Amino acid sequence: MKSEMTVISAKDTPSPTGPYVQALEGAGLIFVSGQLPIRSDEAGLRQQDFAAQVQQALANVFAIVRAGGSAPDRILKVTAFIVGLDHAAQFNSVYAEAFGTHRPTRSLVTVPQLPNGHLVEIEAIALK
């Protein structure tokens, strides 16, 4: 039997720039596509410092999860891609502040580069 899927789109986050959606909900889960540090007006923050980029990418993830009828404290899994391992400690600090006492499972992957010179991209899976 084919499972039902619903497209999730948050108005206060950037529109997808490729052949994907912001998120899909199915089987009681919300799958959020990788979010770059781009504001809803499509302005990228590649000129901002690393912490500001992480804050914006997480804000996008949280807004999309909320648009799907969930909340940041229902996020089960986060995968973050960062340019350079030297940013890991700062990522952990901003990430911990954003999530508070909630601690979803997480993978942190270092990459040589990300689209348009950004330093971070974050995807997530949340309970509906």
Whether 81 contacts 109, CB under 8 Å: yes
Phi, psi dihedrals of residue 79, rounded to the nearest 5°: -120, 125
pLDDT of the residue at 9: 94
Side chain identity at 7, as an amino acid letter? Answer: V
What confidence tens digit (pLDDT) does each residue in 53-92 have? 999 999 999 999 999 999 999 999 999 999 999 999 999 9
Q: How confident is the model at residue 2 (pLDDT cuts 50, 70, 90)?
A: low
pLDDT of residue 45: 76
What average pLDDT score do residues 3-16 get? 91
- Considering Cα of 55, then 57, then 61, then 66, what sign does the dihedral take? positive
DSSP 18: S
- The reply to whether the predicted model has a pTM over 0.85 is yes
Contact 108, 82 (CB under 8 A): yes
Instruction: State mean pLDDT over 4-18.
Output: 92
Are the C-beta atoms of residues 92 and 52 closer than 8 Å to each other?
no
pLDDT at 77: 98
Each residue's pLDDT tens digit, 12-48: 899 898 899 999 999 999 999 999 999 888 777 778 8
Residues whose CB falls within 8 Å of the CB of residue 8, separated by 6 or more in sequence, listed in order:
21, 22, 23, 24, 25, 30, 64, 67, 68
Give dist(CA 1, CA 85) in Å, integer.
44
Architecture of the domain whose range is 5-127? 2-Layer Sandwich (3.30)
Q: Are strands 75-83 and 120-127 parallel, antiparallel or unpaired?
A: antiparallel
How confident is the model at residue 7, as a pLDDT?
96
pLDDT of 46: 76
